[in-house]
Amino acid sequence: MPEQDYMADISDRVEAVKEMVDLGQYFTINRPRQFGKTTLLEALARRISGEYICASISFEGLGDESFENTAAFCQALTDKISADLRRSPAGYETAYAKSWMDSSVITFNLLDKHVSKMCRGKKVVLLIDEVDKTSDNRVFLHFLGLLRDKFLNRKKGLDDTFQSVILAGVYDIRNLKLKLINEGVYKPSGQEGRLLNSPWNIAADFLVDMSFHPRDIAGMLSEYEADHATGMDIASVSELIYEYTGGYPFLVSKICQMLDRDKSLTRDWSPRGVHRAVKALVRQSGSLFGQNNTLFDDISKNLENYPNLYSFIYDILILGKRKNYTGTVPTIQMAAMFGFIKNIDGFAVISNRIFEIIMADYFIAKDDENRSHAHITGYHGDIITGGRFDMELCLSKFADLFREIFTEKDKPFIEEHGRMLFLTYLKPLINGGGFYHIESRLTDQRRMDLVVDFGLDQFIIELKLWYGETAHEKAYEQLAGYLKSKRMAEGYLLTFDFRKDRNRAPRAGWVEWDGVRIFDVVV
């Protein structure tokens, strides 16, 4: 609510959507949960008010009974439209709003005629939010078929109908059948199955970028700074928030809200404050999530409910497998729909750092839950002293424990899961004092870059498999370049070596390389 809240300026997005309305287009706004869909619809309704008659409704909380049959749906729809028009500040005549209610409209044929009558000589825009919250999408999809037919007839000059229809939800209309099947409430067959395949083939593509860029975040912070005079460096804070969130609107808003309201953060609008806010935010993920954060809860539920999605994300994030971003692959479509991945240079990568943290924690928790192999337990001991984390000692102890526990027969498991073992070892050590994230966009099967924040310190760790001395020197070069890009002088390299003839004593020590220091550990 702009009059109450500090908001990113989305006026350019609203204008882009209005252009589609002006052209009479029908389309869907499909974005992940809490990505600003409702905010955009509300802003659009305000923008076009007066120029168009705008009916903005939602299927959230409509009730299962509204989708039990055609009559119930027709009545619920017309009642909802009438109610919205009557409370609209645009001042629609009461008679028009009330006339949308008609108890005789109980079939799609009658609804067809009713819509034509109500839209004749008027420019009416229908916005429907939460379209994927219906209990039985089959009735709704028949309604979409009606709208499609009326749209095509309007283009021929044979019918009157809505100027524009905008649907918003997580699931694309094309995915509604998949949602029904996965929920076990529908088995497609015959003509109905064909109907579900193409209910909305008239829709225009919605290509508006709804994520927040640093300039959007900076605009919001500038407004806040004008009121509170915190002395923040708006540009650097905006860039850092963007680095963690990838512009995911809920995550951006949540970090800013925490910095403003969380007493433990004392309105510390600095890079240090942002790091502390992120640490507090990821703690809400809890044990398999669900602690006062519905977005994080949804991540775990979707990974639990879709095994192919679980394996796909695990392969990218933990095993470091490169996955082409192929939009026609159902699993990739689903991962993108939920906002888990994005397309970087043709490859699928995790969409933001916070999701990397949450998902890695989730996989570690699941690994602990399902563990049937040896477990490396980290010890606080003198690794943490005076609030400082000794990464050199942490890696050295990990090498010692690894050597004690694992033998040659464990090689096939370690080659694939060694990195998970280190994450499992590290996580309890930094819990409460810090967090880590995996740089998934840099990950491949030969290397994983891990960034650990603890207190005021940050550590860069590269995890690799051994591929010979030449490749190991290449790892020095890669890590040195990464450290310089982060303006850091020291980093850490952990390498798993599975040669049968190798020296069994772990290798650990500092190496000077191209102006930086690298603590090199081979296990």
d(CA 176, CA 215): 35
What is the tens place of the pLDDT at every residue in 458-517? Answer: 999 998 888 888 989 999 998 999 899 888 999 999 998 877 655 555 678 999 999 999
Confidence band for 194, pLDDT divided at 50, 70 and 90: very low
pLDDT at residue 229, rounded to an integer: 94
Of the listed ranges 150-154, 174-178, 386-390, 466-470, the least confidently predicted one is 174-178
Both structure tokens of 13: 């997005």
What average pLDDT score do residues 245-264 get?
92
The answer to whether residues 334 and 306 touch, using CB atoms and an 8 Å cutoff, is: yes
The answer to whether residues 220 and 256 touch, using CB atoms and an 8 Å cutoff, is: yes
Both structure tokens of 273: 């404050």
| Domain extents in the chain | 11-197, 214-283, 293-370, 373-523
Above 90 in pLDDT, residue 436? no
Above 80 in pLDDT, residue 237? yes
pTM score: 0.83
Above 90 in pLDDT, residue 432? no
Let me know if 402 is exposed, middle or buried by CB neighbors in 10 A (0-12, 13-18, 19+).
buried
Above 80 in pLDDT, residue 288? no
pLDDT at residue 285, rounded to an integer: 59
pLDDT at residue 343, rounded to an integer: 93
Of the listed ranges 149-158, 400-409, 465-474, the least confidently predicted one is 400-409
pLDDT at residue 289, rounded to an integer: 41
Above 80 in pLDDT, residue 92? no
Confidence band for 176, pLDDT divided at 50, 70 and 90: low
pLDDT at residue 135, rounded to an integer: 55
Above 90 in pLDDT, residue 167? yes
More confident residue, 443 or 119: 119
| Amino acid at the residue 74 | C
Residues in the chain: 523
What is the tens place of the pLDDT at every residue in 363-398? Answer: 988 876 666 555 566 566 689 888 889 999 999 989
More confident residue, 466 or 71: 71
More confident residue, 498 or 215: 215
Q: Measuring CA to CA, how many Å separate 269 from each of 221, 223, 246, 256? A: 10, 14, 19, 9
More confident residue, 432 or 484: 484
Q: Which fold has domain 11-197?
A: Rossmann fold (3.40.50)
